[in-house]
Amino acid sequence: MGAGMPRKDRIDALGAVALVGFSAAMGLNQALIKLVNEGMAPIFQAGMRSAVAFPVVMLFAFLMARRLSLKDGSLIPGIFTGLLFSAEFMLLFKSVEFSSVARISILFYTMPMWVALGAHFLIPGEKLTKMRVLGLLLAVCGVVLALSDQEIAARDDAWKGDIMALLGAMLWACIALTARTTKMSKASPEMQLIYQLAISAPVMIGIAFYTGDTYREMTYLLFGIFLFQSLIVVGVGFLTWFWVLSIYPASNMASFGFLAPVFGVLAGWQILGENVSIAIVGALVLVAIGIVLVNRKPSPK
For residue 3, pLDDT over 50 is answered with: no
What span, in angstroms and rounded, lies between the C-alpha atoms of 151 and 79? 40
174-196 average pLDDT score:
90
147-152 average pLDDT score:
71
pLDDT band at 293 (very low <50, low <70, confident <90, very high): confident
Long-range contacts of 5-11 (CB under 8 A, 24+ apart): 5/247, 6/247, 7/246, 7/247, 7/248, 8/247, 8/248, 8/249, 9/249, 10/248, 10/249, 10/252, 11/248, 11/249, 11/252, 11/253
197-201 average pLDDT score:
96
For residue 152, pLDDT over 80 is answered with: no
| pLDDT tens digits, 113-147 | 898 888 889 888 778 888 889 989 999 999 988 88
| pLDDT tens digits, 48-62 | 999 999 998 899 888
Percentage of residues in the chain having pLDDT higher than 90? 46
Query: Which pLDDT score is estimated for 1?
Result: 46
Question: Hey, where are the domains in the chain?
Answer: 13-295
Average pLDDT, the chain: 87
For residue 155, pLDDT over 80 is answered with: no
Find the range with the poorest average confidence among 152-161, 162-171, 178-187.
152-161
268-293 average pLDDT score:
89
Q: Is the pTM of this model over 0.85?
A: yes
For residue 2, pLDDT over 70 is answered with: no
For residue 154, pLDDT over 60 is answered with: no
| pLDDT tens digits, 71-100 | 889 999 999 999 999 999 999 999 999 989
Query: Which pLDDT score is estimated for 150?
Result: 64
Query: Which pLDDT score is estimated for 253?
Result: 67
Closest-CA residue to 117 (of 167, 174, 43, 158) = 174
164-190 average pLDDT score:
91
What span, in angstroms and rounded, lies between the C-alpha atoms of 38 and 97? 10
